[in-house]
Amino acid sequence: MSETVNQYTSQPVRGRYAPSPTGELHMGNLRTALLAWLFARCAGGQFIMRIEDLDRPRVRPGATEHMLADLRWLGLDWDEGPDCGGPYAPYTQSERIPIYQHYLQKLQEAELAYPCYCSRAEIAHAASAPQQGAEDGPRYPGTCRHLTTKQRRERAASRRPSYRVRVDDERIITFTDLVAGPQQQHVQQAVGDFIVCRSDGIFSYQFAVVIDDALMQINQVVRGADLLSSTARQIFLYETLGFPIPTFAHVPLIVDEQGKRLSKRIRSEGLDPLREAGATPREIIGQLAASCGLVEAGTTSSPNELAQTYASPSYDIMRSKLNRFIHHRTT
């Protein structure tokens, strides 16, 4: 068993932030955006903005414009994005559907993806399906993996399929996260053959994010720790599709007084109340930076000042400053 290594180490850094327009950015989202921006800028790299709006029923009108305005008000900038274009446009996922369809077709032609006619209730009912978590759901037991052409045709007459990628039975994914450290997952045992396109035609996050990051030449992924468990699946897709694998840094989440992570769905506090109370961008950036140990509490700063502080002699901000951040409790 060998560790999957980053194939981009000799290339200029390209980082990104990819929010979903399902509500206002809360402080946890903003801190992750700041860290992703810092990690790229401290390396003298490029920073890309992408909007992940595939789940159209959850998208809120005007949310994209509001998010971008909030980030710019704080002093964050990007080299490519939905509002400024770039060589890998479009930078909004809902405009990239034909690209995802192309890669799904490639998987199907290689017999690496297959239609699944199971409902969530049927999968959950399978006695052999060990539970993962509320987000991952039960492990898929492979019910539709070996259906014959006749059986698929019969099922297709009454139900629209989702599509799942075939996961090698013995494939173990190992990688080293720059914050969380060494990670390992037996993907088939953990989640089984996972969905790349839902039965309603919406492509899965796992599938779209890999294709987007690969085609946009993203080689540095900084995001919240809630996505750490999905990284092995994504690495499996990178390898299956023949894409180079980026480095990953999963940063801890800001939690509320009850220890629950903040959520845009329940309208956790965003920038508007702070602005209305008179807070300045420098004060908020200082607060976000202090919450993960980059500056002392009470410090005011701009993103550019933070980047200048940590740009030399080494840009390795994740290892030198943020490894302790994984154990740092925030409120």
Residue of 106, 150, 260, 264 with catalytic role: 264
What's the Rg (C-alpha) of the chain? 21
The whole-angstrom separation of Cα 306 and Cα 309 is: 5
Token pair listed for 191: 């989640």
Residue whose C-alpha is closest to residue 46's, from 19, 11, 75, 70 = 11
3-state secondary structure 177-244: ECCCEEEEEEHHHHCCCCEEECCCCCECHHHHHHHHHHHCCCCEEEEEHHHHHHHHHHHHHHHHHCCC
Site of tokens 């019969």: 154
Residue 254 near residue 330, CB atoms below 8 Å: yes
Token pair listed for 290: 């202090």
The whole-angstrom separation of Cα 258 and Cα 248 is: 28
Residue 176 near residue 182, CB atoms below 8 Å: yes
The whole-angstrom separation of Cα 90 and Cα 284 is: 31
Q: What are the angstrom distances between the C-alpha of 208 and each of 49, 108, 152, 162, 234?
A: 15, 16, 25, 15, 10
Asked about 264 being catalytic, the answer comes back as: yes
**Burial of 283 by CB count in 10 Å (0-12 exposed, 13-18 middle, 19+ buried)?**
middle
User: Residue 50, Cβ neighbours under 10 Å: how many?
Assistant: 24
Task: Tell me the catalytic residues.
Answer: 264
